[in-house]
A and B are shown apart, each in its own frame.
Chain A
Amino acid sequence: MQCATTAIFHTYHPYGAEIKETRPYSPCRAACPAHTDVQAYVGLIAQGRYNEAFEVITAVNPIASVCSYICHHPCEQACRRCSIDEPLAVRHLKRFAIERSLQYRHAKRRHIQKTRGKSIGIVGSGPAGLAAARDLASIGYDITIYEKHPVLGGMLAAAIPPYRLPREALKEDLDDILALGIEVKTNFKVGEEVTLDELKARHDAVLVAVGLSLSRSLNIPGVEGEGVLLAIPFLEDIAFGKGPKVGNNVLVIGGGNVAMDVARSARRLGVPRVSMVCLESAEEMPAWKWEVDEAVEEGITINHRWGPKAVRRDNERVLGLEVTKVLSVFDKEGRFNPTFDHNITNFIEADTIIITIGQMCDNNVFKGSSVKIDERGRVVWSQATHMSSTPGIFLAGEVVTGPGSAIAAVANGHRAALAVHLYLQGENVEGLLPSFEREKISDMPDTVKERVARHSRIKIRHLDPETRCKTFEHFEFSYSEEDALKEAGRCRGCGGGAVVDSNKCMACLTCQRVCPYDAPKVEAYSVIRPEYCQACGLCAPECPAQAISMVSYDVRQFREGMKALIGSLDPNRHEPVIVAFMCTHHIGVGGFNLPENFRIAPVHCISRVDILDILKAFECGADGVAVVGCTTESCKFKGVHERVEARVKRIQELLSMLSIDRDRVALLRASSGNGNPYSKVCGGFAETIRNKRSYKP
């Protein structure tokens, strides 16, 4: 039923998408909880096609802007470049593409007719609720969102500090979703104003996606009273500009990402001394390494491997925290099960203590309803159907999955939306929902790694720590276009490579002989091993049986569209019409910037240009064809130059058989950089063609 989600919710269908869905995913895409087609949008960015990149991103991610700031980017951790040099900077690229497509984004917002005649109430407007709302509104359901806060977004709006997530980003995402025509009731507390059962009576189905909005506290002496705060109320005060009261020496208990948010926010409130204490060692801390690094840069100290024992007070005033040495945090099975040496203790001075040791669901939402809660206070649900104990009341997001990332909540929201949709269609949901796991291509073999050119990741600039910890302003700069294009060019296109049609292949071995990475393995027919394939495309145009196609950026679209690309020709034209197959690896800022008489066919690499593509251009009346690639030094693939040169020689021979001058086809080389290298090399070629008479009698 994976196709069910695809069919309903995916709106972007690039060339070759069908074949892509049947293939193992690239590691980045498999790792993304929402299976964002990372490689596709990075490839589009590399070609300067930012609006299309935006389409790919938002096809599965309704909070794309938010994720472009705060996503923990499992795609990067999975990137196969990790084992070569550094992972691709996917999140920065996402932000870049979204920033560049803003106008397009605004223009495409549309109201959707409520054609289904059924309404759905969604309780909670965090990532899961928003994802479900968008999915269901997009296919014609009447959606009402109920949110307890005065604004939409759940924890995104109410807890994530603005230095990490500027609220304008959240607003863009919300505006996209609300444009579909969704009713919103804010400051609406389900469980107080109305029970879930009453809400169910108003709608055909209800989806509860309330997340984990309460902080857990500690059961230690001295915790009650002034000077000890909980994380979520503290962050809510910051988010809503209430300026929480803290002293001059704040101690944060916890080692997760929320603890980092709290500590770094405290610094930004002007607190001179902020320290943290956690059970875990630096390696064991659940917070992301970059969060920890940035916090340390901002002058926050971390006390590792101490467990809280008591809050020491002088009368009411907090003096600090008594702690006990931690021996271990996890047991042999890797479960959280800390052990302590109570003989070793310590005292950490502080006048304010903020507890950030985890969150839990605000079960008030279930008050007075028929939805069952188990003896441990957790809502009863079925993972197979997303349904609670009450038919028609569904659950999604962290309220059922436990704490996780925003994008994981989005993925869960999609799944729940499908469950609701199937339920409202009268289907038995059981067994119809997709599982998260997808087959992915495996690690790059060492023999291939050795052949991949090294290119360092383009670093993003941050405000310096001194400046940034004085303000809640966002501190990370975005890529310039030049940097983004360079970084996008680092993608190896994993999984976007060659596929053999076994019905056409006659095992001639050509692909095996051509491939610089030993990807094809030919037995009864050729199989191109995706873990080896670098998606250069050298093999496809060489296949004598035309059995090979490329999963991403197959160039056959140019052959099919060549007539349209060239357009109608004036027989008395003075300027020659030249088709230029241009490698997009060095597209450069502002595109190729060539004169109008050039008809540009951007290609992932010139290795993909077939003799037939060039012939097609002449068939359609082109005066000349330029194949424009990188310089050999800058090409990110192996062996392209020699192979394409041989191809161009062959086409020149074929043309000369028709008395067409050989030099009407040229292999040109350029690399982006200063000036406009393309207009220079292409201009020279145009001059050659201009001086010729028409090759037609």
Chain B
Amino acid sequence: MIVGKQKPIEEIWHMVRDFKRVLVFGCNTCVAVCHAGGGKEAETIASLLKIRASQEGLDMEIDHSSVMRHCEPEYLTPVIDGLRRYDLVLSTACGVGVNFLSERIGNIPVYPGINTSFYGAVPEAGLFVELCAGCGNCILHLTGGICPIARCSKTLMNGPCGGTNRGKCEVSDDIDCAWYLIVERMKQLGTLDRLTEIQPPRDWSTARDGGPRRVSVEHIRAYEEAQTAKEGGKA
């Protein structure tokens, strides 16, 4: 799940204060789960902005609404015309949603209301932790199911480093040393000997370093493209 965190209201205020009609637009999937940008939070931000506007004596129209997801046209299309009556849409979706909406809305700016943080799990209510970095080449089978790319501060493939300190990372006592966890886990699984194998340098082209990525599910794409061609032929 994508995890995000609301931007400070002052930062948001500086983004929106010069616009007359503002819509705070929530996204009711990932960022709702992490209490950052669902319908409820969109309404909260809208309410705070209204109070802020009245504090500054500004006459603004600030509304709120939400959809299930910003990142798929089926959800956006039915509401997008309604969004166009605003001067600004403050999207509380993740960055994906902001991009996606921005490309489709036309002549209206879409600004972010939250900072998109990471893909995470929810070990306890209200706590979200990063467990995967989306590197595009999964090696969890080699590391006891604990990802050194996402969870080692140095993304080391052959750890731990000298900065490990009683199970914690030298970066912060709040961060577990991923390689300490990997060693303990592999001991438990009886596969510790596999760690003697040195991992070669990684090919990062599957990650961000290879440029923007896309995944195409071939059989679905082939069908869709054939349909489009047929319809085009008819026209």
Contacts and interface: CB of A to CB of B under 8 A. Distances in A.
Contact of A657 (B9, B28, B56, B122): B9
A504 interface: yes
A654 B66 CA distance: 21
Nearest to A610: B40
Contacts of A654: 9, 44, 48
Nearest to A650: B44
Given A695-B55, A697-B55, A658 B48 contact: yes
A566 interface: no
B1 to A, nearest CB: 9
Interface string A520-554: 00000000000000000000000111100000000
A504 B8 contact: no
Contacts of B50: 619
Interface in B5-51: 8-10, 28-29, 32-33, 35, 38-41, 43-44, 47-48, 50-51
B52 interface: yes
Interface stretch (A47-55, A154-162, A491-499, A506-514): A506-514
A57 B35 CA distance: 42
Contacts of A618: 47, 51
Contacts of B51: 615, 618-619, 658, 660
B39 A615 contact: no
B50 to A, nearest CB: 5
Given A544-B38, A545-B39, A612-B43, A657 B32 contact: no
A693 interface: no
Contacts of B189: none
B132 interface: no
B142 interface: no
B55 A544 contact: no
B191 interface: no
Contacts of B47: 612, 615-616, 618-619
Interface in A219-277: none
A619 B60 CA distance: 13
Contacts of B125: 509-510, 513
B158 to A, nearest CB: 38
B105 interface: no
Interface in B41-74: 41, 43-44, 47-48, 50-52, 54-57, 66, 68
A654 B6 CA distance: 11
A544 B44 contact: no
A696 interface: yes
A654 B9 CA distance: 8
A506 B29 CA distance: 6
Nearest to B53: A619
A81 to B, nearest CB: 31
A611 B44 CA distance: 8
Interface string A649-688: 0000010011110000000000000000000000000000
Taking chain B's interface residues, is the majority helix, strand, or loop, or is none over half, making it mixed? helix
B113 to A, nearest CB: 14
A513 B57 CA distance: 41
Interface residues of B, number: 27
Contacts of A658: 9, 48, 51-52, 55
Contacts of A543: 40
A616 B54 CA distance: 13
What bracket does the count of chain A residues touching chain B fall in? Answer: 20 to 34
Nearest to A657: B9
A545 B8 CA distance: 21
A660 B51 CA distance: 10
Contacts of A509: 122, 125
Nearest to A615: B47
A624 to B, nearest CB: 14
Interface string A578-622: 000000000000000000000000000000000110011011000
Taking chain A's interface residues, is the majority helix, strand, or loop, or is none over half, making it mixed? loop
Contact of A545 (B10, B40, B48): B40
A618 B50 CA distance: 10
Contacts of B55: 658-659, 695-697
Most buried by A among B39, B40, B55: B40
A544 B43 contact: no
A659 B52 CA distance: 10
A216 to B, nearest CB: 66
A612 B40 contact: yes
Nearest to B35: A544
Contacts of B39: 504, 544-546
A544 B32 contact: yes
B44 A546 contact: no
Contact of A506 (B44, B48, B68): B68
A251 B29 CA distance: 76
Given A619-B51, A696-B55, A506 B32 contact: yes
Contact of A508 (B32, B52, B57): B32
B33 A544 contact: yes
A241 B51 CA distance: 72
B167 to A, nearest CB: 28
A544 B1 CA distance: 15
Nearest to B126: A513
Contact of A612 (B9, B35, B44, B68): B44
Contacts of B41: 544
Given A506-B68, A615-B47, A546 B40 contact: yes
A503 to B, nearest CB: 8
A544 B39 CA distance: 6
Contacts of A513: 125
A466 B183 CA distance: 87
Nearest to A541: B40
A516 to B, nearest CB: 14
A657 B40 contact: no
A616 B43 CA distance: 10
Contacts of A546: 38-40, 43
25 contacts: A504-B39, A504-B68, A506-B32, A508-B33, A509-B122, A510-B125, A544-B35, A544-B38, A544-B41, A545-B28, A545-B38, A545-B40, A545-B66, A546-B38, A611-B44, A612-B40, A612-B43, A612-B44, A612-B47, A615-B48, A616-B47, A618-B51, A657-B10, A658-B9, A695-B55
Interface of A: 504, 506, 508-510, 513, 543-546, 611-612, 615-616, 618-619, 654, 657-660, 695-697
- 10 closest residue pairs by CB, A with B: A544-B38, A615-B47, A508-B33, A544-B32, A657-B9, A513-B125, A546-B39, A545-B28, A544-B40, A545-B32
Given A611-B44, A695-B55, 15 more contacts: A504-B28, A504-B39, A506-B68, A510-B35, A510-B125, A544-B33, A545-B38, A546-B40, A546-B43, A615-B48, A654-B9, A657-B48, A658-B48, A658-B51, A697-B55
